[in-house]
Structure 1
C-alpha cells in the first residue's frame, strides 16, 4: 500500500483552514481538543502526521467525520476508484493503516473503509464525531477487541459488529494484524 505524502500536506492545510474559519487561535483549539498547542502547530505545518486518535479529536471539535475530512483533501469524487488509487492514510505512531475503499463524497450516506491494525496496537477515540452514525465492522483477519461506550466485544475472523457512534477503542489482539472492513452510514 502506497502512502501519499501529499495527503499529509493537504490535510495539514485543511486543518489550519478549519481552525481559521472558526476564528480560533491555536490555544483555543488546543483547549477544545485537549491537545497541546505545539502538537497542533506542528500538525498544521505538516511537520508531523496526526495520529488516528488526534485526528479523531480534531474531527469531533470540527463536527466532521474522519472520512469527510479526508475526502475534503482529495480531488472531486469518482464513480470508480481503482485499488491503486484508493486513498491510504497511516498513523505513524500505531502503524494503523486506513484505506478509503469506496469513493467518499459529502452527498453519499455510506462508505466503506478497510482498516489494518497491527498486532498489539491500541487506538482510543474518546470523542463522538457524528452522533447517530451507524457502523458495521466485519473482521477478516486477526482478533479484535472493540469497545464502544465501555462495552467490549471480542471479534474473530468472520464476525460482524453493528454499533452506533460512541467513544470507542480498537485493540488488535493477534495473532497478526486485525484486518477489517468498516461500513459507515450517516444518520
Structure 2
C-alpha cells in the first residue's frame, strides 16, 4: 500500500515536469501555452512546478493544446519502460476537484494503445474539450455502475457491460448521476 501512496504523492511533480517538457520541446513560452489551451499562465506555472494538482478538465485542455489526449499526456508522466505493469505499480491520479480516480493499467509500449480504469464518484461530472480527442480513437467500457456520457450534445446512458465507440471529436461530459460509484475503462488508440 505504501507504493500506491508514493505514486500519488509524486504524480503532481511528474505531471508538471512532463507539461514543462512538452511546452519547452515545442519552443513555447508559458504565454504561448496559455493562449493555446485557455488555461491561465499563472495556473500553468503552478502546475509545472508541482505546486498545484491540476483537475481533469485542466489536464484535458493542456493535452489538447499539445495535440494529444489527456491519457497520452499522463502516460508520458506516469509510466516506466517494461512489458509488465503489476497492479501494485499502476499509477493512480486523483482529480482534486471531483475525487475521480484514474488508474493507468497498460504498460508503456510502442503500441498506440492506452488502457485506463476510472472510478467516478456519485454526482461527479467531468467535462472534456473536443481538443482532447483530436488525435485519438476511444472506447468506453462500463465495468460497474452507471455512466452518462454526453458527446457533442448526444446523451448516452451506459450500464455495466456496455461499451461505446466515441464518434468524431466533440466536447464531452462524463457524469455519474447515481448514488453509487461508477467504474469504467477507457481504451485509447492513438491515430497514426
Common fold by TM > 0.5 = yes
- Per-residue CA deviations over 1:96-131 (Å, capped at 9, x if unaligned) read 1111111133x2122211011111111111132353
1:35-86 C-alpha deviation (Å, 9 max, x unpaired): 1221111111111111111000100101122232223224532211111111
SS where residue 140 of structure 2 aligns? strand
Segments of 5+ residues of structure 2 without an aligned counterpart are: none
Count of aligned pairs: 186
User: In structure 1, how many angstroms separate the alpha carbons of the residues matched to 2:30 and 2:100?
Assistant: 27
Unaligned residue ranges in structure 1 (runs of 5+): none
Which structure is higher in helix share?
Answer: 2
Change (3 A) 1:70 1:120: same
Change (3 A) 1:96 1:75: closer
Q: Which moved more, 1:127-136 or 1:158-167?
A: 127-136
2:49 is aligned to 45
- Helix, strand or coil: the match of 2:166? strand
- Report what 1:155 is aligned to: 158
1:132 to partner: Cα distance: 5.9
Contact map agreement 1:67 1:104 (CA 8 A) in 2: no
Whether 1:114 and 2:78 are equivalent positions in the alignment is no
Equivalent position SS for 1:104: coil
In structure 2, the residue matched to 1:12 is 16
Superposed CA offset, 1:2-55 (max 9, x none)? 342222112111211222222322222112111122111111111111111100
1:104 aligns with 2:108: yes
TM-score norm. by structure 1 comes to: 0.90
SS class of match (1:164):
coil
Q: How many Å separate the matches in 1 of 2:17 and 2:43?
A: 15
Superposed counterparts of 1:62-141, under 5 Å:
62-74=66-78, 76-105=80-109, 107-131=110-134, 133-141=136-144
Contact in 2 for aligned 1:124/1:170 (Cα 8 Å): yes
SS in 1 for 2:123: coil
- Map of 1:184 onto structure 2: 188
